[in-house]
Amino acid sequence: MKLDGFGIFVEDMSVMVRFYRDVLGFDIKEDENATNVYLEKDGTLFLLYRRSDFEKMTNRGFHYAKDINGHYEIALSVENYDAVDLAFRDVVSKGATPVMEPNTEPWGQRTCYIADPEGNLIEIGSFNQ
C-alpha cells in the first residue's frame, strides 16, 4: 500500500473551508457546503469530509474530540526560522487559535502550533536557520 493522502472529518464544512483556504492558503475549489472537499497541497491529497455525511454513508455513528485535541497534527514547513515566526503571527492575526508560540527545539527545529476552528493541531516549522 502507498500513502495517498489524509482527511479530517469536520462538523462545519463552510467554517473549515474558509479557514484552510483563507487563513492557511490551501487551494480549495469546491463549494463551502460540499459533502467532501478534495485538494492537493504540495503533492499531498487532503480531504475535508462532513461528519454527518460520512456517518450516513457508513450507517454508523462516531465519537469526535471537542476543543483543542491532540489526536494528530498537520505539519506545514516554511523556508527558515524567521518564516516560522512570520507565519505564526500571520495566521493568528487571521483567526487561527495560538497553541504554542514559535520556539527553537533542542533537535534544531523552530516550530509553533496553532489550532483550526474545530481544534485540530497544525504545526508550522523549519529546520533551516
Residue 59: pLDDT over 90? yes
Domains in the chain: ranges and CATH? 5-58 (3.10.180.10), 73-126 (3.10.180.10)
Nearest partner of 73 among 33, 44, 113, judged by Cα? 113
pLDDT of amino acid 69: 92
At 46, list the grid cell: 487532503
Express each pLDDT in 22-49 by its tens digit. 999 998 878 888 888 988 788 888 899 9
Q: What pLDDT, on a 0 to 100 scale, did the predictor assign at position 43?
A: 82
- Over residues 100-104, the mean pLDDT reads 98
| pLDDT value at 4 more than 90 | no
* pLDDT computed for residue 41 by the predictor: 81
How far lies 57's CA from each of 8, 16, 53, 93, in Å? Answer: 16, 21, 6, 37
